[in-house]
Amino acid sequence: MTTTTAVRDDLAVPTRKTGFRTLLGKLARDPWAVASSTTIVVFVLAAVFADQLTGITGNDPYTYHQDLLDAKGQPTGWGGGIGADHWFGVEPLTGRDLFAIVVYGARTSLFIGISATVLSVLIGTIVGITSGYFGGWYDRIVSRGVDVMFGFPTLVFLIALMAIIPADVPRPPFIALVIGLFGWPGISRIVRGQALALRERNFVVASKAMGARSWRIVLGQVLPNVGATIIVVTSIIIPGMIAAEAALSFLGVGVTPPTPSWGRTIGDAVLWVRTSPMYLVFPGAALFLITLAFNLFGDSLRDALDPRTARR
């Protein structure tokens, strides 16, 4: 065996690229990622600074302005009463400020959407990673359980559940809890599949052979490699969670008045759609935009993290 210089190119190490910075770079070069993340940031800021934002015109989502309505309860003025004081006009029948309703609605939507997602991802990751990695009877039981969850007519069940919870339970956290509790099986399945594959990977076996304990392998070897998937899944299920809350509220079994909610406002606005279309347009557009932004961002993130899809 001779060592020659002509083919010694396997010893040259390329220049350093770190994962996170590469990822940011990729995202910054993707116009969809930039646009969607900007939208998300705007919505989050609006939700966080709702008080200050509505304070500019001195409005809140609860005060009635009957003086701005005509005899039939329609807002007077162009576009449902759009003006310097009421940027999105006012609500028919009550005259409440629509801008305030939409901005505070963002707070409700994002709070429920994000906390439900966190709960789902947490449960899904723990269940998925442990059942995939440890396998055996534990995995069999958990997988059956996930099958049962998939067999659940979730929306029907949620609606039914909403009917019977006592009125004094605060709705937004309860909705977040329930949606979150029903949202994890999909995540768990994905994470389990990955953990199952990782279990057979050489570096995990090597770690075991070196004498690492199970929890150390799960946290140190498996979890970091599922991380990218979890991030992508998170960004993709947030819009689903937001939509679930909006759907419940739209059906009248979600967030109760007077707490603002896009879904409920849309449900109310349907009745006014021919006379006061703006009443529907603003909350509808807000819901559509934030959902679209999260979906687009999730796509970009997946493309940036998964070199296989990026090539497509």
Footprint of other proteins on 126-185 (CB under 8 A): 144, 147-148, 150-157, 159-166
Report the nearest approach of other proteins to the CB of residue 30 (Å): 12
Q: C-alpha distances in angstroms, 32 versus 113, 119, 160, 238?
A: 22, 28, 39, 18
- The first and second tokens of residue 160, run together, are 């039914």
Is 237 an interacting residue with respect to other proteins (CB under 8 A)?
A: no
Name 311's Cβ contacts closer than 8 Å, sequence gap at least 6. none
Report the nearest approach of other proteins to the CB of residue 282 (Å): 12
Site for other proteins in 284-303 (CB under 8 A): 284, 287-288, 291-292, 295-296, 299
Smallest Cα–Cα separation from 268: which of 48, 43, 59, 73?
A: 73
Report the nearest approach of other proteins to the CB of residue 227 (Å): 7
> Can you tell me the distance from the alpha carbon of 212 to that of 217, in angstroms, rounded to the nearest whole number?
6
Site for other proteins in 6-25 (CB under 8 A): 6-11, 13-14, 16-19
- The first and second tokens of residue 168, run together, are 């004094």
Instruction: Please count the residues of the chain.
Output: 312
Report the nearest approach of other proteins to the CB of residue 294 (Å): 8
Indicate the residue among 57 and 225 with the shorter CB distance to other proteins: 225
Is 234 an interacting residue with respect to other proteins (CB under 8 A)?
A: no
Report the nearest approach of other proteins to the CB of residue 284 (Å): 5
Indicate the residue among 34 and 159 with the shorter CB distance to other proteins: 159
**Rg, C-alpha atoms of the chain:** 25
